[in-house]
Amino acid sequence: MPPIVDPLLVTALLLNFLLLGSSRLRSLIRWIAWQGVVLGVLLAVAHGDHPGPRTLALAAVAVAMKAGLVPWLLYRTTRQDALRREVEPLLSFVSTLLLGGVGTGIALAFGSTLPMLPEHTTVLLVPAALATVFTGFLLMTTRRKAITQVIGYLTLENGVFLFGLTLSEAMPAMVEIALLLDLVAAIFVMGITVNHIYRTFSSADTTALSALRD
Amino acid sequence: MPHLATVVLLPLALALVALATPSNRLRPLLVPAAGVGHATLTGLLLWGAPQAAEGAWLGLDPLGRLVLGQVSLLFLISALYAPGYLALRPDRDNRPCVSMCLVFVAMMSLAILSRHIGLMWIGVEASTLSTASLIYFNRNARSIEATWKYLLIGSVGVSLALLGSFFLAYAGLSAGLETTLFYQDLLDLAPQLSRPWLRVALVLLFLGYGTKMGLAPMHAWKPDAYGEAPGVVGALLAGGLTSTAFLAVLRFAQLGLAAHEEALVRPLFLASGLLSMGVAAVFMVGQADFKRLLAYSSVEHMGLLVIGVGLGGGGTFAALYHMLTNAFTKGALFLSAANLHRAYGSKQVSDVRGALVRAPASGAIFLLGFFAITGAPPFGPFMSELALLSAALSGGRVLLTGAVLLLLFVVFLGMGRAVLSMALGPAPEATARDVQADSFATVAPAALLLLLSLALGLWLPAPVLDALRDATAQVEGRP
């Protein structure tokens, strides 16, 4: 992979920490959109200096969905809750950042134990993918609002997508586009559900969702 | 013979018709229409030879034939129930419910027919999304909570499965092979795949698709979703979606076995299966809500399925047999439970008394369904559980057999206490709210499913037996 890949992966990793440290929904959505841009650029440059039209088209679709359509859907949803735009963590920002750091460290250590192909060994690809998946889990479990859980899911998907970069030659364009569409559909359905949660509980604090238990 | 894609396209086309149909009264009739169409096409496909052409996106191998047949039959009978149920709820706009139900069936069929693991993933993920609006049918605070948990846990699960699918492809790439996500190619290359990648991939895929099956500890969505969804949706989830997810789990078990990873696959399946049965047993004793009771029973039986595969050989045969008997028995239980729910206006065990008097047909089906699912002869689950236990014993697994028997007994006691107190005794005075008693439209499908469960216990027709044997041979890698 070309040398430009490493700085891009580091950027994606840094965005993980920005996501964990954001205290406002707007900035959370902004950072997840930027991570989408980084992923799209990675997709375009990962396989040499002269990407073909197919790769470029896929990268454009990825950016349009991950940095355009999905953040827009999320942004629309936040407007419902006009007064409360804070992230409302269950665990403090400092603790989640520390946990994120530990998770990234473990991802780096574990990623280096897996045998990589020579063309992938110099890059941080697997650690970055695993750390991003972990960040997604952290966001989903330590934030109260339903919308932040959706953003956590999106981060998790970004991590899976990062790993998918190693396979973009194996994956037919149809499947990749279908995967992206599925993601958009998931965010769409989740967005509708979040709206219904707002309407039912007049907030989207998921701690209100605790009537069902044994 | 019809084209394979027709079983996906027909329900999709009818879903579009449902979206375009203005009448709330006529729209539900599309569900049985899709059921009959889907079952007819499936019957024609099963009549023909197995097809799994090289490099084709869709195919029908022995395992796929078994699951497609089961899902299609269950959908047909559940679909007959749907119009009768929706007619009782004229206040609700059934457009989202009907159209998404048809999309759900299309996506399950797509997942079953896929020969490409990326396409299969898309089918499973899309079936998760389409069922969200079915679980939210009642549009209240409880159902939105159940929908949210179902969506989040299910989506995280299938994301892990996607990561696992990518790892699997990289296992091929890393071993210097051609990169591919076609299932047959991966299967052919299985012994040469890079070990570390393959092992991590197998665990992730099991976790991911196991979440969709509802195996412990990823089962948390199940009681909520089954508890709040309409009974007919519960029947489709507990016998359709779980069987589809089990098919995915089986496909990767087959791959793991073909790659000589028995030492990873079998213990993983046994441990997860026992944990699921244990968790289910704990929550079934003293369970106050009878729909949640059925959900935990589903967790228990998913545990039995993977235990069977964990045993291998005759155990895999028993697991596939149990997949059929469990699906039909659970269907009968969910449909009759829905009728009781309506007859009493409550799904609390303590509110339901004398069901055999108030709603004799549904009460009797519920009671017999309980005996069937807990393994009473001569119903199907008795025979499949017997096959499973004898496979365990003949493999010398005495401790495991003992543990499974003990858990089955605990479940019998826990479920029995609730079901008997619901069925027997005098019925309370009927209030104005709970008026709908049994009707032919809501009882006949449940009775039919119970009859199927009984028939599978009394007699395995030769085509079914052959299908089970072929599918077992496929998983165990002995063509």
Tens digit of pLDDT for each residue in B85-138? 898 888 888 999 999 999 999 999 999 999 999 899 999 999 999 999 899 998
pLDDT-based confidence at residue A122 (cuts at 50, 70, 90) = low
Domain that holds residue B146: 6-476
Residue A119's pLDDT band, with cuts at 50, 70 and 90, is confident
Nearest residue on chain A to B136, alpha-carbon basis: A193
Distance CA B141, CA A208 (A): 10
The tokens describing A35, both together, are: 């991570």
| B55 in reach of chain A (CB within 8 A) | no
Instruction: Please determine, for residue B153, whether its predicted confidence score (pLDDT) is greater than 80.
Output: yes
Report the alpha-carbon distance of residue B71 to residue B55 in Å, rounded: 25
Indicate if the pLDDT at residue B309 is higher than 90.
yes
B335 vs chain A: nearest CA distance in angstroms?
A: 22
pLDDT of A167: 78
Are the beta carbons of B273 and B233 closer than 8 angstroms? Answer: no
What pairs with residue B289 in β-bridges?
Answer: B348
How far apart, in whole angstroms, are the C-alpha atoms of residue B410 and residue B98?
38
pLDDT above 70 covers a percentage of chain B that reads 98
- Sign for the pseudo-dihedral over CA of B138, B142, B144, B149: negative
Task: Identify residue B95 by its one-letter amino acid code.
Answer: R
pLDDT of residue A121: 67
Count helices and strands in chain A by DSSP H and E runs: 9, 0
Tally of domains within chain B? 1
Both tokens assigned to B271: 């441990």
Q: Name the residue among B266, B13, B158, B247 with its Cα closest to residue A160.
A: B158
- At B117, give phi and psi (nearest 5°): -70, -20
CA atoms within 13 A on the CB side of B335: 37
Residue B436 confidence (pLDDT): 61
Give, as one character, the DSSP assignment of residue A68. I
Tell me the count of A-B CB pairs closer than 8 A. 118
Quick one: pLDDT at residue B237? 95
pLDDT value of position B172: 86
Asked if residue A200 has pLDDT above 90, the reply is: no
Mean pLDDT over residues B402-407, rounded? 96
Mean pLDDT of B57-76: 95
Residue B342 located in a structural domain: yes
Nearest Cα to B312, choosing from B210, B396, B379, B380? Answer: B396
A-contacting residues of B 205-234, CB under 8 Å?
223-224, 227-228
Question: In whole numbers, what is the pLDDT of chain B averaged over residues?
Answer: 92
Average of pLDDT values for B286-293?
Answer: 93
pLDDT of B444 above 50: yes
Asked whether residue B286 is domain-assigned, the answer is yes
Task: Tell whether B54 is covered by a domain.
Answer: yes
- Residue A184 is which amino acid? V
| Per-residue pLDDT tens digits for B364-390 | 999 999 999 999 989 999 999 999 999
Average pLDDT rounded to a whole number, residues A20-40: 92
Q: Choose the closest CB to B196 out of A115, A146, A175.
A: A115
Q: What does the pLDDT read at residue A80? A: 66
Q: How far is CA B343 from the centre of its chain?
A: 26
- Gap between the Cα atoms of B197 and B201, Å rounded: 6
**B272 within 8 A of B210, measured Cβ to Cβ:** yes
Residue B142 and residue A149: Cβ atoms within 8 Å?
Answer: no
Whole-complex ipTM:
0.91
Is residue B1 situated within a structural domain? Answer: no
Question: How much is the average pLDDT of B57-72?
Answer: 95
Beta carbons within 8 Å of B19's beta carbon, 6+ residues apart: B95, B99
User: Looking at residues B223-233, what average pLDDT do you find?
Assistant: 93
Query: Would the pLDDT of B431 be above 70?
Result: no
Nearest-CA distance A132 → chain B (Å)? 12
- Residue A49, pLDDT score: 66
Q: What is the pLDDT of residue B437?
A: 63
- Residues near A94 by beta carbon (within 8 Å), at least 6 away in sequence: none
Residue A15 vs residues A28, A37, A161, A183: alpha-carbon distances, Å: 10, 11, 15, 20
Q: At what angle do helices A5-21 and A25-45 cross, to 10 degrees?
A: 170
Q: Is the pLDDT of residue B241 over 70?
A: yes
Question: At A13, is the pLDDT very low, low, confident or very high (cuts 50, 70, 90)?
Answer: very high
pLDDT surpasses 80 at B450:
yes
Model pLDDT, residue B124:
95
Give the residue from chain B lying closest to A130, CA to CA: B163
* Res B433 pLDDT > 60: no
**Chain A interface mutation, best of B142, B152, B160, B186, highest count of A Cβ atoms under 10 Å:** B152
Judged by CB atoms closer than 8 Å, whether chains meet at A153 and B228 is answered as: no
Q: How many CB atoms lie within 10 A of CB B151?
A: 25
Residue B298 included in any domain: yes
Is A84's pLDDT higher than 70?
A: no
Higher local confidence (pLDDT), B372 or A201: B372
- Residue B427 within any structural domain of the chain: yes
Specify if B458 maps to a domain. yes
Which of A113, A146, A201 faces B141 most closely, judged by CB atoms? A201
Q: Which residues of A touch B121 (CB under 8 A)?
A: 179
At A83 the pLDDT is 46
Encoding tokens for residue B455?
Answer: 């028939």
Closest CA relative to residue B331, chosen from B226, B439, B419, B446: B446
Residue B14 inside a domain? The answer is yes
Query: Cα–Cα–Cα angle for B360, B365, B370, nearest 5°?
Result: 125
A 10 A CB-CB count for B464 gives 17
> What's the pLDDT at A118?
75
pLDDT, tens digit, 9 for 90 and up, residues A52-61: 788 888 889 8
Distance (Å, whole) CA B162 – CA B252: 13
Q: pLDDT value at position B429?
A: 74
